[in-house]
Amino acid sequence: MTAAAVEQSLTLWGMEGAETSLIATRENQVYRVDHAGRAYALRLHRPGYRTDAELWSELQWMNATAAGGLHVPAPVAAASGEFLHRADGFQADMLTWLSGAPIGRTGGGLNSEDRTSLFYGIGREMARLHTVSDRWIPPRGFSRWSWDRAGLLGVNPLWGRFWENPSLTKEDRALFIALRGEADAELQQLETALDYGLIHADLVRENIMKDGGKLQLIDFDDSGFGFRLFDLATTLLRNIRETDYPALRDALIAGYLSVRAIDLTSLDLFLVLRSATYVGWIISRMDEPGSKARNQRFIGTTRVLARQYLARKEIHE
């Protein structure tokens, strides 16, 4: 099925006969395309996951961030001049290929000897992304989802009703319901004052690539509008079990603050909120290999963070 989509895509981009290899099959199918001495990434998007308007908007933002000096995949226009096309029923786009390797894998180690310098650099690049995004004026028709209060804690959060994960014990369900209520009340008071704008929303190890001294940000699939603390929390959460986590946290924040200011008062709130999103996200993926273990890990991390958050709230009140 996808073979026809790949061939149609190569024709649309004027790359007939190019060598292709499948490199990722998660949310999208991603192929490396080698043509005329250059490499590209062809993405065939999961049907029904994103609208054409949402994908067009993602590509416009990626193009703007690349033009702003960020090391990100830049969209490549097809022969028609457009970034997004349909190929055998799939939404298809082509991106520049970035060399280098991810800084690590979930469940594995970090591929760096100087870990604090690495996290300082990640914080710096994250802040640069936010700065470039604030300077850019999205075009008419720009449409991406919002990691706002409703998207995190509303009736139908973007990644699912985490408090209804079927694997929760009675005690965990009560804990997560309490978390939702308290966090929603706090965020309602804070939201208008918090730094808000376009965010990557998934700066985990696999989506940060290192090429020599250059850090590159990839996979903007979950990007949208959101609180800037959400980006910081995402990176921190996925490294929270590291033995040198306090040093990594300090380095990430220092790197960010070297570029732009941000109020960090509510960072711990966004750590627990980010953790909760994974408990909702996994609900529809329980049949995937390894999901049982990941589900329990997500629940366990959120349980710890929720108890800490509610305990702090109780002390302050």
Q: What is the pLDDT of residues 220-254, one digit of tens each?
A: 999 999 999 999 999 999 999 999 999 999 999 99
Statement to judge: residues 35 and 111 lie in one domain: no
135 and 283 housed in the same domain = yes
Assign 105 a pLDDT band (cuts: 50, 70, 90). confident
For the chain, what is the largest distance between any 2 Cα atoms, rounded to a whole number of angstroms?
67
pLDDT for res 111: 79
Q: Is the same domain home to 90 and 118?
A: no
Read off the pLDDT of residues 31-76 as tens digits, 9 standing for 90 and up.
Answer: 999 999 999 999 999 998 899 999 999 999 999 999 999 999 999 9
Nearest-angstrom CA–CA distance, 15 and 88:
17
Q: How many CB atoms sit inside 10 A of residue 291's CB?
A: 15
Angle between helices 291-316 and 267-281 (to 10 degrees): 150
**Number of Cβ within a 10 Å radius of residue 17:** 8
CATH number of the domain enclosing 25: 3.30.200.20
pLDDT score recorded for residue 316: 61
The encoded tokens of residue 58 equal 């993602």
Confidence of residue 315 (pLDDT cuts 50, 70, 90): confident
Whether residue 272 sits in one domain with residue 176: yes
Residues 27 and 171 in one domain: no
* pLDDT per position as a tens digit, 186-233: 999 999 999 999 999 999 999 999 999 899 999 999 999 999 999 999
Structure tokens at 13: 């981009």
Q: Which of 97, 119, 145 corresponds to the end of one domain?
A: 97
Q: What is the pTM of this model?
A: 0.95
- Per the CB < 8 A criterion, the answer to whether 72 and 62 are in contact is yes
Q: What pLDDT was estimated at residue 1?
A: 59
Better-scored residue on pLDDT, 241 or 108: 241
Residues 219 and 75 in one domain: no
Instruction: Quote the tokens at residue 213.
Output: 């001294």
- 81 shares its domain with 213: no
- For residue 310, the enclosing domain spans 102-316
Whether the per-residue pLDDT at 317 is higher than 70: the answer is: no
